[in-house]
Amino acid sequence: MFEYAPAPESRSVVDIAGSYGLFIDGAFDGGKDGNVFKTVNPATEEVLAEVAAAGPEDVDRAVAAARRAFGPWSALPGAERAKYLFRIARIIQERSRELAVLESLDNGKPIKESRDVDLPLVAAHFFYYAGWADKLAYAGFGPDPRPIGVTGQVIPWNFPLLMLAWKIAPALATGNTVVLKPAETTPLSALFFADVCRQAELPPGVVNIVTGAGDTGAYLVQHPDVNKVAFTGSTEVGREIARAVAGTGKRLTLELGGKAANIVFDDAPIDQAVEGIVNGIFFNQGHVCCAGSRLLVQESVADELLASLKRRMATLRVGDPLDKNTDIGAINSAAQLTRITELSEIGASEGAERWSPECTLPDRGFWFAPTIFTGVTQAHRIAREEIFGPVLSVLTFRTPEEAVAKANNTPYGLSAGIWTEKGSRILAVADKLRAGVVWANTFNKFDPASPFGGYKESGYGREGGRHGLEAYLA
């Protein structure tokens, strides 16, 4: 195997301030009660910045600013709103190198992914919804679709800027205004985005960013003057939010967890499937709600496939997220590392067989080697619970019926994958899978034009595509 020389991206391409305030009504200011928290680089545990923690009064101010901005913003012709969205999309493209480095520093994801996946998709999302802003009357929601009002949006840490784009782009295109809370461990790209809004001369109050922990998110979703709540994160918090907004008349969309089955049939091209499996579970350290975390492989090809998969996993490079050759970066937080470690230990103690390639992990920071478990049964916790890390559970099946039954045997239903040469089998199996997205002979493919969302405990509502407009229209 070749050794790779270090190929680090320069961290000096982005300026990180020592401290950040809240972005309310077009300006940054400190929180009312002066509380702050620190965000770290999970690859080094170095503190990157101190960030204001928004209390109830701050959330109040942000919602009030969004309310004042709503009238004029929603009254603009769609083509005028589109101009701002196109401007934002272009600025993101122009500043994508800075943003990619910032995202990798704050989140721990490999620069290769933030640069080639996250940032292009973020820009594409703004371009896509910019295109809809003046065509809403032709989108199939009646001749004069109306916005809902002030939207409260809460997003997770795994794709900080991409989840922001999924939330903000359709909200603005349809004429709503926004108060968004990024995750506590990854606030920096959202604050950078606030600066992008200023650069684009977006009217003050149309987008407000309130940083803070879970309680800030709770104030926001419970705020009486918020008309629509959009949340991406854990099923547990999603349930809490659903209870909090029940009976208030607020609109709600939830994008929650997943435990996707990636199904490999005996006629699948094995090498291609192995690439898809690796992408499905090791992309973004497995911090992906639609990760292919359960591999279902047909028994007759299981040995061949696993041998190939192990060979491939031994070539994965784990380490410095800013190195352009890195495949697997840092785990986002100490808390997430603990969760992954605990569930993996449970997997071994319940009788599954654990395997990782040899790899040296850095001394500082939060790391977890890519791991697979074989001999997993449907009763094992690692087959049922979302691990949200680079850990794959392998199960086998004999018939297509068994594959479908096992794939659907989960409380979740966000995504699934099918690998087979037969088009008819793809259609027949996809039809029976209870999952919002089904990929065939590929995995983790995203496009702003394609709707994304879950069944069952994976949530409700769709983001992306024409469907994604509906969640923001009255």
φ/ψ (deg, to 5) at 124: -60, -35
Q: CA 294 to CA 122: how far, in whole Å?
A: 28
Binding mask 173-212 for Mg ion (x = CB under 5 A): ------------x---------------------------
Question: According to the binding rule CB under 5 A, does residue 39 interact with Mg ion?
Answer: yes
Structure tokens at 318: 């784990």
Site for ligand NAP in 385-404 (CB under 6 A): 386, 388
How many residues sit in the footprint of ligand NAP (CB under 6 A)?
Answer: 26
- Among 53, 54, 102, 221, the residue binding ligand NAP under the rule CB under 6 A is 221
- Among 147, 257, 453, 468, the residue binding ligand NAP under the rule CB under 6 A is 257
Stretch that binds ligand NAP, among 15-23, 49-57, 108-116, 214-222 (CB under 6 A): 214-222
Please check whether residue 410 is in contact with residue 256, taking contact to mean a CB–CB distance below 8 angstroms.
Answer: no
**Conformation bin of residue 175: beta by default, left when phi > 0, alpha when psi is -120 to 50:** left
Cα distances from 269 to residues 173, 266, 358, 397, 442, in angstroms, run 42, 9, 27, 17, 11
From the list Mg ion, ligand NAP, none, which binds 39 (C-beta under 5 to 8 Å, kind-based)? Answer: Mg ion
Residue with smaller CB distance to Mg ion, 49 or 352: 49
Q: Transcribe 293-340 into DSSP letters.
A: -EEEEEHHHHHHHHHHHHHHHTT--BS-TTBTT-SB---S-HHHHHHH
Binding mask 268-307 for ligand NAP (x = CB under 6 A): ---------------------x------------------
Question: According to the binding rule CB under 6 A, does residue 232 interact with ligand NAP?
Answer: yes
Binding mask 46-85 for Mg ion (x = CB under 5 A): ----------------------------------------
Measure CA of the first residue to CA of the last residue in the chain; give whole Å: 58
Catalytic residue ranges: 255
Buried-exposed string 76-96: b where 16+ CB fall within 10 A, e elsewhere = bebeebbbbbbbbbbbbbebb
Strand 228-232 relative to strand 150-154: parallel, antiparallel, unpaired? parallel
Residue with smaller CB distance to ligand NAP, 96 or 158: 158
Question: According to the binding rule CB under 5 A, does residue 114 interact with Mg ion?
Answer: no
- Please give the residue ranges that form the binding site for Mg ion (CB under 5 A): 39, 106, 185
- Please give the residue ranges that form the binding site for ligand NAP (CB under 6 A): 154-158, 181, 183-184, 213-214, 217-218, 221, 232-234, 237, 240-241, 255-257, 289, 339, 386, 388
